[in-house]
Chains A and B, each alone.
Chain A
Amino acid sequence: MTAEIEQRPAPEGQGGWIEKRTGARELMAALLHVRIPVEARTLYFGGIALFLFGIQAATGTLLALYYKPTPDAAYNSIVSIMSDVSFGWLIRSIHHWAANLMILFVVFHLLRVFYQAAFKYPRELTWIIGVGLLGLTMVFGFTGYLLPWDQRAYWATVVGTDIAGAVPFIGDQLLLLLRGGTDVTEATLSRFFGIHVLVLPIALAGILVIHLTLVHQLGLANPKRPDPRDGPPQGATKPFFPDYILDEVIAWYLLLAILVVLASLFPAGLDDPADPLVTPEGTKPEWYFLGVYEFLKLVPRTIGILLPIVGLLLLTVWPFLERSPEVLMRRRIFVVVVATAILVFGIALTVVGFRS
């Protein structure tokens, strides 16, 4: 079937008219008609994260039409979106759930790549850029969380920025930079909104293009055998389009169904309006910072801050630390066990944070 598409001459009529003026067919052929190892198992995590980013861009744009980024108006504009704007509740709820799922699936994607050792030669740069994308996604979530300007958002941001303020040497400056002052105020809301809707989308989209270009250029990794240093990868392959794309689209559809169910049954909530003078009980940061938050309670503050930073740096440069060409988990057992232990510890801390 692929061969048929490639060999068929450009149709006359409108398609032919566009083709003559854009050369799109050749571009699409270069993008889509590649082959991937039949043993590749991506579990579609990366594609789902990409799909969720698309959902966020679309719903975020719609929300920005009605949202007002000032402390006086932010809360009421969210109430209006949820109550007055047609399907505003759906747009906001999908944005809310897709944000959480996006972080989750970027983490899943990272874990899949780590356990399959897909970060090894020649994909080291793809990994580093991917870790950067995870960081940007979390900053996306952190900045977006404040925007409803309700009690939960306000105090989660107070706690979250407090963590940043505890970073040794640069904590005070970092806190000032994040908050735009000593407290979470209108200045914080303005800069979080600006970062959320201008800086991050452009940054993430740009880096994502590089990430995807590298994935396209290097192809999918084979979890059963490493890529040879000289010569092309070995083993049977299958077409990326339409075989893999079809599976991916089915996964996207299922994600869409999950989003619709979550948004309908558990619409995005709204607490009381933010009140800097009333600290609610049980103030805690968002779930993806809960592990670090709980860890801070267990160890001295400096260690609690430095260790996750060092861990993130190690994660970023991991392809240069684990240099053996082995990709099978049973031959990387030490690394796999240690990573799993850290992962379980992080999940346990998050669960404790939820219950505290």
Chain B
Amino acid sequence: MTNSLNIHHQDTLERYPDTSFPDIRQDTFSKTTLGFWLYLMTDCLLFATLFITYAVLHIETFDGPSGKDLFIMPTAFTETMILLCSSVTCGMAVLAALRNDTYKVIAWLAVAFALGSAFMVMEWIEFNHLVQAGHDWTQSAFLSSFFTLVGTHGLHVSIGLLWMLVLIIQLFCFGIDVMTFRRLVVFSMFWHFLDLVWIFIFTFVYLMGAI
């Protein structure tokens, strides 16, 4: 019995030579990006629960307005396109960083920042209109879940904008080095992720609300 187990163990050792275990990716860059990816995955679950809350509650309008009455489609479409462009320009910043072109990186990040700010301003105006018209989060379960879902995304984008400012200052001071490149890559992951979440908000909240 012991003998056969031993043989079996040796078989596996031979079939999987010792190149990938222990893990070769032990450097700070790999560990940081993997760690941040883990955070993004948990954030994904957070958004998933908010989406489901919205899915369950969006019919409970308490005789108030529904999504069909409130959502302005062209605004939502413009917001989607702006955030997509911001996501791509952030990718361009990483590509410029591959060529060690600090000023191009800062320029692309500045464009991404401007687009992200435009997105936040549009969302802020939209929220303001709703609240001014008396349709705030206290009116119905539908509006509570709507403001929680879209507001959480907006909060993420706002934090991302602040992060981008800090990153621009760091790039300005230190140029492209191991540290700033790592931070830029991690930020780009965050920014692309937020665009990905917005696709689902656009589809499941705005488009489906309009049908």
Do A and B truly interact? no
Interface of B with A (CB < 8 Å)? Answer: none
Q: Could you tell me which A residues sit within 8 Å of B by CB distance? A: none
